[in-house]
Structure 1
Amino acid sequence: MRVFITGGTGLIGSALVDSLISRQYRVFALARSETACTRLRAIGAVPIHGDLTDPARWCAALPPVDAVIHAACDFSDAMTDIDRTLLDHLIPAVHAMPGPVRFLYTGGSWLFAQTPPGQSIDESSPFDPLPEFQWMCSGIDRVLGDERLHGIVIHPGCVYATGRHGHYGLLARDLQTARTNDRVTLIGDGDVTLPMVHADDLADLYCLALGNAAPGSSYFGVAINDLTNRALAGLIARHVGTPDCQIDAITVQTAITRLGRWAAGLARHQTMTATKAVSDLGWNPAHCDLENDLRRVGMQFRD
């Protein structure tokens, strides 16, 4: 199978490229720079030189593919227009392919409401997105509503990684400040839990969906649900900082001022079940112990 990926050198995409190639897929990935092209070639992918913000320059020249995985997102205020314009060009290019094409679109946990204590949500829950991610709902409607696409949606939790390809995702800022300033930041209520997933496990879910999911289906990619923000900050301080590492509490508004409006999601309490992915696709995430992952990261930093 020939697969085209957007965001192929990003947090999710780099893990995806590795996972697909290990399964003997032929992978084509969008690359904005020569550096990205070189990285993709080094791991066995074929780079498609182009910019997500200017799809008119490269969409019409896409090689024939059997599947598209849209895994690119830059969290900027411009992403509404970027994603709409991308789909304006990419969907017609997919329609022009010689055979049917599966189109996997990436949603996210912040398209859904907070959950009360003791409750969880699944794929049947209605959207209630943070305003900064409303554009994803429009993209999902376009992909699932197009009868000529075999559309599938993956909703990741908050994605983290443990350093392969240089990515740490959700953990990146606090890992950096723990190492350089001996400080970790706790945002909002320390009892908030964020649904989380390792990029490698998420890549495995995409691959399973690519081969086995029914068109029109959606899946939650969540492996860790029960770790509070306070506990997460403590684990990073313990395994990456020194014994004197400090945990600084800041308000959600302060986080928004520092990081952008999307940071409100870091204080959105959610519990999400991946039962459907497990039962339908046989998904079996390997990274369910974040402390173990952080212990290994801390050891890597000290080596």
Structure 2
Amino acid sequence: MRIVVTGATGNVGTALLRHLVEHTDHEVVGIARRLPDRASGSRVAWVSTDLTDPSCQPILDSTFRGAGAVVHLAWGFQPSHDLGYLAELGVQGTRRVLSAVAAAQVPHLVHMSSVGAYSPKRGNTPVDEDYPTDGVPGSPYSQHKAQAERLLDAFSAASPDVRVTRMRPGIIGQRSAGSALLRYALPALLPARVLRLVPVLPLDGSLQIPMVHADDVADAFGRVLATGESGAFNLAAGLPVTTADIAQALGARHLQVPRRIVRGAVAGSWHARLQPIDPGWIDLAHDVPLLDCGRAERDLGWQPTHSGVAVLEEVVQPMANADSGRTPVLRPRTVLGGLSDAVRDKPVAYRRRP
């Protein structure tokens, strides 16, 4: 089967391509704005296009033609001060992918949604896939994910012959994403090793965040592609990551600070362009529900192989070491590179993309 993957050079995309190449004989096509160096002997064919540019439509139409499935992963997290760009990539990019799926008569679409698409939690009971997907107010990322879900609703109603699968994982991590995650979370001029020097973690102790390893997510995608299952699937490790887990992973002492104060500090420093995380991520971290993954276990035979704490530890250590992957998205992060970006393009938090 021919499988086309958008956002193929990112955190999940690299894990999925690795899974498909190692465990299947599918013909794989990766779509990305910036292509990786072509690895010798790689079975992946590459197509470069930018989903924020309307001129990508004929490229998508032709690339999707003859595909047995399209996996739509492409999404953006930065520049956090340019919500127009993020909406153009996440929401309008999804609209363009759906249009191309319909034009090429692709029988199966697998869309990367998120725990962030869900409405705020009402308690600590894990929710299944029927929980409302109206997003968390105050979080642009969450609201864009919810808008993409509405596009899928309309598409499913208009294209009943297309199987539509929505994957809703928790926060995803893997070792090779260390530099990418650090680039989005830390001011460009601070070296990665400062993470080893954090003495105190000032956070509200009520955090409970579902996490999952990128390889486990890739395995679930592989099972969906093999079975053709449609509908929504939650994906998360068994237990959520807590504030205490984060403090331990950083080797820091937890200092209890109410959520509203943390959010205010993040908002002030973000508006001052001192760091790249918008305050909506604080809302999201506190308000996302825990996930009931019973459907993935029953219908796909899926089980996570990494605990949430193991995923956290695998993410934190590579962030401190600025570990990286081989694609432009997962490229090494350095202070010199941050200075170069600041001079040439402005910092990642608010520069405009082409």
Normalising by the smaller structure, the TM-score range is: 0.7 to 0.9
Q: What is the CA distance between 1:200 and its match in structure 2? A: 0.7
The answer on whether the counterparts of 2:136 and 2:288 sit within 8 Å (CA) in structure 1 is no
Equivalent residue letter for 1:208? R
1:192 corresponds in structure 2 to 207
Listed as ranges, the gaps of 5+ residues in structure 1 are 238-244
Listed as ranges, the gaps of 5+ residues in structure 2 are 324-354
Equivalent residue letter for 2:243? N
Larger mean Cα displacement after TM superposition, 278-287 or 115-124: 115-124
Equivalent residue letter for 1:8? A
2:278 corresponds in structure 1 to 260
- SS of aligned partner of 1:96: helix
- Which residue, 297, 305, 309 being the options, matches 1:290? 309
The answer on whether the counterparts of 2:116 and 2:135 sit within 8 Å (CA) in structure 1 is yes
Q: Distance in 2 between matches of 1:277 and 1:148?
A: 23
Q: What is the CA distance between 1:16 and its match in structure 2? A: 0.8
Equivalent residue letter for 1:93? A
Q: Distance in 2 between matches of 1:38 and 1:178?
A: 25
1:54 corresponds in structure 2 to 53
Give structure 1 regions of 4+ aligned residues with deviation exceeding 6 angstroms: none
Equivalent residue letter for 1:260? D
2:20 corresponds in structure 1 to 20
- Which residue, 139, 147, 164 being the options, matches 1:138? 147
Which residues of 2 match residues 23-172 of structure 1 at below 5 A? 23-33=24-34, 36-38=35-37, 43-57=42-56, 58-62=59-63, 63-75=65-77, 76=80, 77-78=83-84, 79-97=86-104, 100-131=106-137, 132=140, 133-143=142-152, 144-145=156-157, 146-163=159-176, 169=181
The root-mean-square deviation of aligned C-alpha atoms, in Å, is 3.3
The answer on whether the counterparts of 1:160 and 1:170 sit within 8 Å (CA) in structure 2 is no
The answer on whether the counterparts of 1:187 and 1:229 sit within 8 Å (CA) in structure 2 is no
2:193 corresponds to 1:179: yes
Which structure is richer in relative contact order (CA contacts within 8 A, separation 6 or more)? 2
Q: What is the CA distance between 1:151 and its match in structure 2? A: 0.9
The answer on whether the counterparts of 2:124 and 2:289 sit within 8 Å (CA) in structure 1 is no
- SS of aligned partner of 2:241: coil
- Cα deviation 1:89-110 (Å, max 9, x = unaligned): 333322233x542111111112
Q: What is the CA distance between 1:293 and its match in structure 2? A: 6.8
The answer on whether the counterparts of 2:216 and 2:304 sit within 8 Å (CA) in structure 1 is yes
Seen in structure 2, the aligned counterparts of structure 1 residues 289 and 222 have a Cα distance that, compared at 3 Å, is closer
Larger mean Cα displacement after TM superposition, 277-286 or 146-155: 146-155
TM, length-normalised to structure 1? 0.81
- SS of aligned partner of 2:37: helix
1:6 corresponds in structure 2 to 6
- Cα deviation 1:161-220 (Å, max 9, x = unaligned): 122x6667599848x9773351277464222100111111011111111222433x1000
